[in-house]
Amino acid sequence: MGLFGKLTEKLTGAAGKLSGKSDLLEAICAACALVAAADGEVEKAELAATADALASHDVLGKAFPPSKIEQVAETMFKRASGGSFGRTKLWNEVEEAKAKSSGEDLELALAIVVDVARSDGQIEDKERPVLDRIARSWGTSLQAALAA
């Protein structure tokens, strides 16, 4: 099997692991909303860009229909816009994922969140501490996700 075949097989397998795990989709979208809110505000353009990046992600886009991803992302971004109470609810979503998901699933989830954070070119200085807190909450390594 060639390199492309192995990559396709790996992505298909990862998508299969996430398929139907709506709790993990919610945690990924909550994490992305927290990263987007790291600078203190959430703009509509950030929601649209994040929803597009999530729906077109090689793994997540195969695990869930775009409409489901967009719906969950919109819900989480509304929470992010809801001040500290809304953001606390987002952190609860992130923390609940640890109890409901395997370590392997959480590593994949963090990799997706990092990919989305990078989709606008780079990870901003204010986003890095949020990503680090998410990684620690999930018992995963931000450094490993950044290196991937």
Q: Selecting from 1.10.3680.10, 1.20.120.1760, 2.40.110.10, 3.40.190.10, what CATH number does the domain 3-147 have?
A: 1.10.3680.10
Q: At what angle do helices 66-80 and 83-100 cross, to 10 degrees?
A: 130
Terminal C-alpha separation, the chain: 22
Side-chain-facing half-sphere of 19: CA atoms under 13 Å = 10
Give the per-residue pLDDT at 18.
Answer: 67
Give the per-residue pLDDT at 3.
Answer: 34
Give the per-residue pLDDT at 20.
Answer: 65
pTM of the predicted structure, to 2 decimals: 0.86
pLDDT at 133 over 90: yes
